[in-house]
């Protein structure tokens, strides 16, 4: 056992070794000054190089509605009983899809022969759909995302994310989205532009009264949001 005075001197020596000239503990990290984040234009003025993806959404190459009519939907293939055919079956689909010449069904993939002569292999996967069981889906050839629809944009067969496709509602303002929603509700009620002077279209034949009441309430709610 060391005497009490020697123990105090040893503690004091250790403290003097750890304390620097400015009175700060050597094993203690200096506190960093909080720097306020600068906006993108302040960084440009300062001469900094901005990242390529400055905004949340990538560049828009078109809308999904523009390419939906010629997009390859796996659900449409299921309705046509394409996957009930034996492996190796070929389907000429150039009339329904102008960018596609022949589609060949394999045991685990779809071979798509484009009009340019290039062959794109699209893997087939199974997706769990809850109480409906498992359904066949496809993978994007570029990002391997499980999807239902393939788009062909400038010879690139991929999903909507890889092709840079947006929904039309993403390219309109808040008021424009409300007008689009009102147009969709009126279309469900049988108004395709011929009943523009009628405030609320009449109930279509065969529609339930509670369904018609729900659509009328949706129209009233959208109009209240438009003219607030």
Question: What does the mean pLDDT of the chain come to?
Answer: 79
Query: Does residue 31 surpass a pLDDT of 60?
Result: no
User: Taking the CA of residue 198 as centre, how many other CA atoms within 13 Å lie in the half-sphere pointing to its CB?
Assistant: 15
What DSSP assignment string belongs to 186-207? HHHTT-SSTTTT-SSPPPPTT-
* CA nearest to 112, candidates 135, 136, 141: 141
pLDDT-above-90 percentage for the chain: 34
Contact 167, 174 (CB under 8 A): no
Residues 205, 54: Cα–Cα separation, whole Å: 51
CA 84 to chain centre: 31
What token pair was written down for 223? 């109009």
Contact 178, 161 (CB under 8 A): no
Contact 149, 71 (CB under 8 A): yes
What token pair was written down for 104? 């060949």
Instruction: List pLDDT tens digits, range 145-199.
Output: 999 999 998 888 999 988 888 888 877 888 888 888 898 999 999 888 777 778 8
Angular region, 221: left φ>0, alpha ψ -120 to 50, beta rest: alpha
SS (H, E, C) 6-19: HHHHHHHHHHHHHE
Residue-range domain boundaries for the chain: 62-166, 172-226
Instruction: List pLDDT tens digits, range 124-159.
Output: 999 887 777 888 999 999 998 999 999 998 888 999
* Geometric angle at alpha carbon 67, from 62 and 72, rounded to 5°: 135
At 37 the pLDDT is: 59
pTM score above 0.75: no
pLDDT (mean) for 95-124: 91
Where is average pLDDT lowest: 55-69, 87-101, 206-220?
A: 55-69
Using CB atoms within 10 A of its CB, is residue 189 exposed (0-12), middle (13-18) or buried (19+)?
A: buried
**Buried/exposed code over 26-51 (b: 16+ C-beta within 10 A; e: otherwise):** eeeeeeeeeeeeeeeeeeeeeeeeee
């Amino acid at each position: 056992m060391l005497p009490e005075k020697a123990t105090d001197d040893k503690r004091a020596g250790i403290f003097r070794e750890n304390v620097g000239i400015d009175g700060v503990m050597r094993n203690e990290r200096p506190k960093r000054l909080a720097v306020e984040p600068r906006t993108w234009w302040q960084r440009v003025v300062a001469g900094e190089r901005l990242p390529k993806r400055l905004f949340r959404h990538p560049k828009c190459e078109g809308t999904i509605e523009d390419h939906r009519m010629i997009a390859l939907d796996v659900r449409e293939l299921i309705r046509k009983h394409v996957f009930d055919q034996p492996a190796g079956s070929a389907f000429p689909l150039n009339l329904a899809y102008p960018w596609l010449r022949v589609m060949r069904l394999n045991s685990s993939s779809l071979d798509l022969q484009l009009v340019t002569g290039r062959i794109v292999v699209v893997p087939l996967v199974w997706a769990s759909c809850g109480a409906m069981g498992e359904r066949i889906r496809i993978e994007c050839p570029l990002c391997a995302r499980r999807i239902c629809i393939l788009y062909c944009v400038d010879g690139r067969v991929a999903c909507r994310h890889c092709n840079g496709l947006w929904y039309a509602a993403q390219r309109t303002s808040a008021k424009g989205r409300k007008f689009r929603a009102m147009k969709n509700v009126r279309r469900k009620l049988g108004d395709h532009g011929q009943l523009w002077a009628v405030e609320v279209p009449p109930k279509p034949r065969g529609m339930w009264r509670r369904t018609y009441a729900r659509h009328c309430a949706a129209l009233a709610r959208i109009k209240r949001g438009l003219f607030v």
